[in-house]
Amino acid sequence: MDTSSATVELPADSPIVSSDRCDVPKRVRVLHIVNSLNYGGMERMVADLVRRTDPSRFDRHILALSYLGRFSEGLEDVASLHVARRTSRWSFVWPRMLARQIQTIAPDVVHTHSGVWYKASLAARLAGVRRVIHTEHGRPHPDSWDRKFVERLAARRTDVVVVVSAPLAAYHRAERIVPEPRKIRMILNGVDTDAFRPRPDPGTVRQKLGIAASTPVLGSIGRLETIKGYDVMVEAFRRLSRDRDNTPAPVLLIGGEGLERRRLETLAASHGLRDRIRFLGWRDDVHDLHGTFTLFTLASRSEGTSVSLLEAMSAGLCPVVTDVGGNADILGTELAHRLVPAEDPERLADAWRDALEDATSRERDARAARSRVIAEFSLDAMVRNYEHLYAMVE
């Protein structure tokens, strides 16, 4: 859906009047700027945040610089959706057209997200926006000096920089990405623990893929990009598959899309694992996938606070993930034994084997995983923290 034309129905300074003619305070108009809302944990988090933000206090808008994408579906019921007009090659240096579009929307707060920080924050200031907030959802691996230089410039015109994990906060301070540490706030990602709850295996995924009910399923959901380490996961599964004691032999199901998909499929086929590593593409039946998985795994090289990991743990799955970014904080001390080093397929294969062979321990950790998400990573708590930042403009 392309709604690039202005969708704002009220002038920015118009109060909302109740039916009994009594004035109520003007809502704060919040504009989220993203590259798109297509795939990925960050995009899902932004959609959930917009959907849950209090409509009586905040007028919600989203501006996508490229296109809206899958996670925008249904958001038109709660927010005004916009797509950026085509810009020139010089827009990164002087985003005049973007600034004009922001001026038309007339937000009180612009909230930028990873991937658009420099251009969007510059355009917001050119448009005269009073408050600019940015959320850093994760870092590339390896990071580059030019990215850090550009982000230091963006940080100077940003009022608050939100990081989604303690390691990200420490990184920003150590690298002086944000020259003024007082600007840094940590808000942990959250998920809907009612929507993502333990479910029985529906059998539909196994039936469609021809997987027997007794076959253990290693499951992962994520973007098929280099930073997510799926090449390491394929190699780890190859090593696990050499173990003749695995009866029945497990399969690996990977849900998600990305630029690495064709290379990963070729890699799996070269190991003779085409039938045991299944790339599912984008799926709308995440709850059914969670019900099918025996455990959930990630081989990421870098993470912020992984939404897919939070959702899987909330769904009552034992996690086996790499010790990068915010993963250790998500698992906590009780599940720390399920962490493995990044770039180490042998240790990842060993961790899978341990979890598959000890069902009692795996099920205990699955219960602990859900309890931890309920206690520490509530979606409502995340939304309240962002609302507090938005309200500071009042």
Locate the DSSP E strands across the chain.
Answer: 28-34, 58-64, 80-83, 109-113, 131-136, 160-163, 184-186, 217-221, 251-255, 277-281, 295-298, 319-322, 339-340
Same domain for 387 and 368, yes or no, is no
Same domain for 382 and 362, yes or no, is no
Chain CA centroid to CA 5, Å: 28
Residue 244: the pLDDT is 63
Residue 88: the pLDDT is 67
Same domain for 239 and 176, yes or no, is no
- Those residues whose C-beta lies under 8 Å from the C-beta of residue 60, and which sit 6 or more positions away, are 30, 32, 50, 53, 78, 79, 80
- Structure tokens of 196? 């993502």
Same domain for 219 and 288, yes or no, is yes
Specify the number of domains making up the chain.
2
Same domain for 303 and 183, yes or no, is no
What is the Cα–Cα distance from 346 to 136, expressed in whole angstroms?
A: 31
Same domain for 177 and 40, yes or no, is yes
Residue 384: the pLDDT is 96
Secondary structure (3-state) at 105: helix
Residue 18: the pLDDT is 34
Residue 243: the pLDDT is 77
Same domain for 186 and 290, yes or no, is no
Residue 22 lies in a domain: no
- pTM, entire model: 0.81
**Sign of the C-alpha dihedral, residues 234, 240, 244, 248?**
negative
Residue 367: the pLDDT is 98
Residue 143: the pLDDT is 78
Residue 10: the pLDDT is 29
Q: Which residues of the chain have pLDDT under 50?
A: 1-22
Residue 1: the pLDDT is 42
Same domain for 236 and 350, yes or no, is yes
Range of the domain at 264: 204-376
Same domain for 235 and 153, yes or no, is no
